[in-house]
Amino acid sequence: MEKERIELKFIFGLICVVFLGAVCCPLAILLSKSFLQASGGVGLENYLAVLNNEEFLLSRACEKISVNIDLL
């Protein structure tokens, strides 16, 4: 009986590892590609471009205003 439990735990653990690998690998690839710059180097150029975009800043300001109105 104990041997069956060990085998089931091993199979369950193996399935969990495979599932985590299937989920985490694409996420890691996307994250690593987000740090690639147009020149081929690695940096925060993409993130800085988004954060310095006027439309992004306005959307964040509008979001804060709507939250404050909802609280009233």
Contact between 10 and 16 under an 8 Å Cβ cutoff? The reply is no
Collapse the DSSP code of 38 into the 3-class scheme (helix H, G, I; strand E, B; otherwise coil) and give the result.
coil
- Same domain? For 24 and 48 the reply is no
- How many domains in the chain? 2
pLDDT score of 71: 56
Together in a domain, 23 and 46: no
For residue 67, pLDDT over 60 is answered with no
- What domain range is 66 assigned to? 36-72
The answer to whether residues 23 and 45 belong to one domain is no
Residue 63 has pLDDT above 70, yes or no: no
Instruction: State whether residue 36 is helix, strand or coil.
Output: strand
In this predicted structure, what is the pLDDT of residue 66? 60
19-62 pLDDT, tens digit per residue, is 999 999 999 999 988 888 878 888 888 888 888 888 887 877 77
* pLDDT value of position 70: 53
70 and 40 belong to one structural domain: yes
